[in-house]
């Protein structure tokens, strides 16, 4: 008999039985609600209760999201029309793609005022399209409107991902709109990082829906725009193995590789060494004056190759430590190996449908490890994980709620909500100190390290959800 198909509907409909009581209490009135019902006239109660329901009632999730997106439209238009655009790399991007449009295919010949192309081929096609739409980059205002649209679509994608979470408090969604630096990165700087992150978040949506081949393609497109997407690669590989097994993962890797080959083909045919050296340059040395994360380290240490090697080793060690958490639902490496060999076959060769919280927890902590151990962080790199911070903070500060019968609930205590907000604003402060100081850099380092330590310390990494894992929702029960 085939395993049962994971039921549709809101998460509370298919919670494990031992969490049913917790889920049943979600709709119970809070003290604040009771106070409003007691002191407000019945005609005013719906108005007074509406903000509370927006922030706490899952049935109002998309209403709250709609208000957030509407606010962002207004704010974005105000920023575009009343805050001066800052030229950093946009003109260089346009100069680089103009050479491509003129027929240049040697990657080391694509240069601009601030230097050569240092991104993979997807970036060239993307900014060629932007150059064509904005008349060679001269229509800055139109470009800003396009990037505002990018911001809104990206935010909607993140909201859609968080909707699938059972543990993220709805009242924390407004945090996603409160980053000054993030608005600047998207609307005033026009960097390519946000485009890469959009395709990455789209890949996560495909993963949540067990569309792993589409996820591999979207992930590859994201990587073709900016190399930072490699920070997610270890987690992406683990999740592929858990959902698709070895054979399915190899097929997905083939799709990933095909996308890379197709996008890079014009440049590889011209000069493969030039393309690989420019687009995936792991030997780049960053300037100390621009680093946000290591200003508390002396410049000579920052530039020392031993420091880079230490960060690389630390990165590898942390990935190994967290990989034990990522596969913990399998109760050991041996069971994990058995699962990736036999699991998908037991469900008719269909991918397993992994819990959303497992996907987000694994991917976001993997990225944070990479951010912590990055050789250098520049201001636009905040877009790599800004919208992930509230989720990771809830994941960390909620420990040790992963044990016992309390389980994973969307409603977290007020302490977790407050600590998550404090963590987010602390990181936002660090990213807004310009130029970075030893104090702000050390504060950033401590915040990253503390979040990872908290996440590692107590969560059971999806154990409570794992027995719900079954074949893809697209598979018919038999």
Q: What is the pLDDT of residues 186-212, one digit of tens each?
A: 999 999 999 999 999 999 999 999 999
Mean pLDDT across the stretch 396-425?
A: 68
Question: 238-242, 365-369, 389-393, 458-462: which has the minimum mean pLDDT?
Answer: 458-462
Per-residue pLDDT at 10 exceeds 90: no
> What is the structure's pLDDT at 347?
47
Question: If you average pLDDT over residues 407-418, what whole number do you get?
Answer: 66
Q: How confident is the model at residue 156 (pLDDT cuts 50, 70, 90)?
A: very high
Contact in structure between 380 and 185 (CB atoms under 8 Å): yes
The answer to whether residue 48 scores a pLDDT higher than 80 is no
- Rounded average pLDDT over 435-453: 97
Spatial contact of 363 and 232, defined as CB atoms under 8 Å apart: yes
CB 350, CB 344: distance < 8 Å: yes
**DSSP structural state of residue 4:** P
For residue 114, the model assigns a pLDDT of 86
For the chain, which residues make up each domain, given as ranges? 83-471
CB half-sphere exposure, 59, CA atoms < 13 A: 4
Helix (H, G, I), strand (E, B) or coil at 172: helix
The answer to pTM > 0.85 is yes
Element (H, E) at 333: helix 333-346
Using CA of residue 184, residue 190, residue 196, residue 198, what is the dihedral sign? positive
Residue 90 near residue 126, CB atoms below 8 Å? no
Using alpha carbons, select from 431, 306, 302, 444 the residue that is nearest to residue 378. Answer: 431
Q: Which residue has the higher pLDDT, 168 or 32?
A: 168
Mean pLDDT of 449-464: 75
The pLDDT, as a whole number, for residue 346 is: 45
Q: How confident is the model at residue 44 (pLDDT cuts 50, 70, 90)?
A: confident
Helices 389-397 + 414-432 axis angle, to 10: 140
List of residues 6+ apart from 406 with CB closer than 8 A: 22
Q: Where residue 349 falls among pLDDT bands split at 50, 70, 90?
A: low
Q: Which residue has the higher pLDDT, 399 or 99?
A: 99
> Of 273-282, 342-351, 444-453, 464-473, where does the model show the most confidence?
444-453
Torsion of CA 108, 109, 115, 120, to 10 degrees: -50
Q: What is the pLDDT of residues 283-325, one digit of tens each?
A: 777 889 899 999 999 999 999 999 999 999 999 999 999 998 8
> For residue 338, is pLDDT > 80?
no
- Dist. CA 91–CA 5, nearest whole Å: 52
pLDDT of residue 47: 75
Q: In this model, does residue 2 exceed pLDDT 50?
A: no
Q: Is the pLDDT of residue 38 over 80?
A: no
Q: Of 118-122, 263-267, 411-415, where does mean pLDDT reach its minimum?
A: 411-415
State residue 50's pLDDT score. 84
């Amino acid at each position: 008999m085939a395993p049962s198909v994971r039921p549709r509907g809101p998460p509370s409909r298919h919670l494990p039985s031992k969490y049913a009581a917790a889920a049943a209490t979600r709709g119970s009135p809070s003290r604040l609600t009771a106070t409003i019902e007691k002191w407000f006239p019945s005609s005013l109660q719906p108005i007074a209760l509406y903000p509370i329901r927006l922030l706490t009632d899952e049935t109002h999730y998309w209403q709250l999201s709609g208000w957030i997106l509407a606010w962002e439209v207004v704010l974005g238009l105000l920023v575009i029309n009343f805050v001066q655009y800052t030229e950093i790399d946009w003109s260089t991007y346009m100069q680089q793609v103009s050479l491509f449009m003129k027929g240049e295919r040697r990657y080391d010949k694509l240069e601009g005022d601030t230097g050569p192309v240092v991104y993979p081929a997807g970036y060239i096609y993307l900014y060629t399209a932007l150059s064509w739409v904005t008349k060679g980059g001269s229509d800055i205002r139109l470009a800003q409107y396009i990037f505002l649209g990018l911001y809104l679509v990206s935010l909607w994608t993140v909201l859609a991902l968080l909707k699938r979470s059972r543990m993220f408090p709805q009242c924390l969604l407004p945090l996603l709109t409160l980053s000054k630096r993030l608005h600047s990165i998207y609307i005033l700087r026009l960097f390519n990082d946000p485009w890469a992150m959009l395709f990455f978040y789209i890949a996560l949506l495909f993963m949540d829906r067990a569309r792993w081949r589409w996820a591999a393609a979207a992930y590859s497109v994201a990587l073709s725009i900016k190399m930072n997407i490699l920070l997610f690669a270890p987690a992406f590989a683990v999740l592929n193995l858990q959902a698709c097994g070895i054979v399915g993962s190899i097929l997905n890797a083939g799709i990933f590789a095909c996308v890379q080959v197709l996008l890079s083909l014009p440049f590889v045919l011209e000069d493969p060494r030039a393309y690989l050296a420019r687009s995936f340059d792991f030997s780049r040395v960053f300037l100390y004056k621009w680093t946000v994360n290591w200003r508390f380290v002396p410049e000579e240490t920052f530039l020392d190759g031993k420091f880079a090697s230490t960060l690389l080793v630390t990165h590898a060690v942390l990935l190994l430590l967290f990989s034990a958490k990522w596969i913990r639902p399998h109760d050991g490496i041996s069971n994990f190996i058995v699962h990736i060999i036999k699991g998908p076959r037991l469900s008719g060769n269909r991918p397993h449908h992994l819990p959303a919280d497992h996907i987000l927890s694994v991917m976001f902590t993997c990225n944070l490890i990479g951010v912590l151990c990055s050789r250098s962080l520049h201001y636009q790199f905040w877009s790599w994980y800004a919208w992930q911070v509230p989720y990771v903070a809830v994941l960390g500060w909620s420990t040790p709620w992963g044990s016992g019968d309390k389980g994973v609930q969307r409603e977290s205590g007020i302490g977790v909500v407050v600590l998550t907000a404090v963590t987010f604003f602390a990181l936002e402060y660090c990213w807004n100190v310009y130029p970075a100081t030893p104090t702000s850099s050390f504060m950033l380092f401590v915040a990253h390290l503390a979040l990872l330590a908290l996440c590692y310390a107590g969560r059971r990494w999806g154990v409570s959800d794992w027995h719900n894992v079954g074949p893809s929702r697209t598979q018919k029960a038999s």
